Amino acid sequence: MTQTAAITEAITSLTDAQTRFSLVRIENEQFFPEWYEELPEITEAEKTSLDVLRRRYLYHRGEGDLLEGTVMLLVVSPLLALAGFYDPPFKIAAESSVELVLNDGEEVLRGRIDVLVLQKQFWVVVLESKKTTLSVWSALPQALAYLMANPHPDRPVFGMLTNGDDILFIKLTQTPTPQYDLSRVFALFTSTREVYEILQILKRIGQAIAPK
């Protein structure tokens, strides 16, 4: 009999994700150059927009922890817009369902992800924060599960995790074997330069997944 479980219940640790999907982290700079190499330049107008984004976020964050929807409005949505993900050839599908079939169909894991950017190669996870602020690392196991649900396993996929304060990028490939690696953590509190680099990376990922 097929057993169905929520991804958030079945995958609760990094060890769970690595074991269930035979995932290996590849700490090789050449595996994930998109977060640091050949980053596109950003304009002065974009820098001005990013300065406003950071200032607004810090203003609202100063009142306390922010809910998921507020982080989406203040940080994620403006960044995706500036990076061009709201324009052709990309499309946004919010609250998209994902499903993983394991053990020859005996187990099904299901979940919902906050934002999916066509070509189904870039996933954005916004952590839900209510009374406490959650680390971006706490969402990594579930994010890896979402990335493994990529309907095109022959292509690399990318992820962005954020709780508002911090942003972490992921790259995952499934061929010849499931592998992934991570960027460093970028912190909005640190400096405006951090936000500039985040936009550059988003644009670089956009270049990587755009139709050739």
**What is the per-residue pLDDT for 132?**
37
User: In the block, which residue shows the tokens 């406490």?
Assistant: 132
Report pTM: 0.90
H-helix or E-strand spanning residue 42:
none
DSSP letter string, 46-76:
HHHHHHHHHHHHHHHHTTS---HHHHIIIII
Count of structural domains, the chain: 1
Along the 212 residues of the chain, how does pLDDT read in single tens digits?
567 777 777 788 999 999 988 999 998 889 999 999 999 999 999 999 999 999 999 999 998 888 888 999 999 999 999 999 999 988 887 766 777 666 555 677 776 666 677 667 898 888 765 433 578 888 898 889 888 888 788 999 999 999 999 999 999 999 989 999 999 999 999 999 999 999 999 999 999 998 76
Query: At how many degrees (to 10) do helices 44-61 and 192-209 cross?
Result: 120
**What is the per-residue pLDDT for 111?**
65
Query: Residue type at 79?
Result: L
Residue numbers of the domain that contains 31: 3-209
**What is the per-residue pLDDT for 102?**
65
Of 179, 186, 210, 212, give the one whose Cα is nearest residue 200: 186
**What is the per-residue pLDDT for 131?**
38
CB 127 within 8 A of CB 68: yes
CB 139 within 8 A of CB 127: yes
